[in-house]
Amino acid sequence: GTKFVHVFYQFARYVMIEDMKKLSVGTGIPFAEAVMQRPEDMYIAKARHRVAYNKLLQILQREDFVVQEYKGKKR
């Protein structure tokens, strides 16, 4: 349900940030630090979060639909 999607989104975000931290060590690219900073305009940040969250939800729903269709045709 929606709680699972939210937890999954938060976990994916955490993994992405940790991966960026590891990959940016020694490169002189402060990208990971920039991701962790709080944005100046929280309204825009929240809007971007909603867009990303809804896109992830759409992708998961589409994947579930394809899996259900595949299972239906398999029988």
pLDDT digits (tens, 9 = 90+) for 18-72: 877 777 666 665 665 666 667 778 888 788 888 888 888 888 898 888 888 888 8
**Domain limits, the chain:** 2-73
The whole-number pLDDT of residue 75 equals: 65
Six token digits for residue 69: 């269709």
Contacts with 10 (C-beta within 8 Å, 6 or more apart), sequence order: none
- Look at residues 14, 13, 8 and name the one whose alpha carbon lies nearest to residue 57: 8
The whole-number pLDDT of residue 28 equals: 65
pTM: 0.46
The whole-number pLDDT of residue 42 equals: 82
The whole-number pLDDT of residue 35 equals: 63
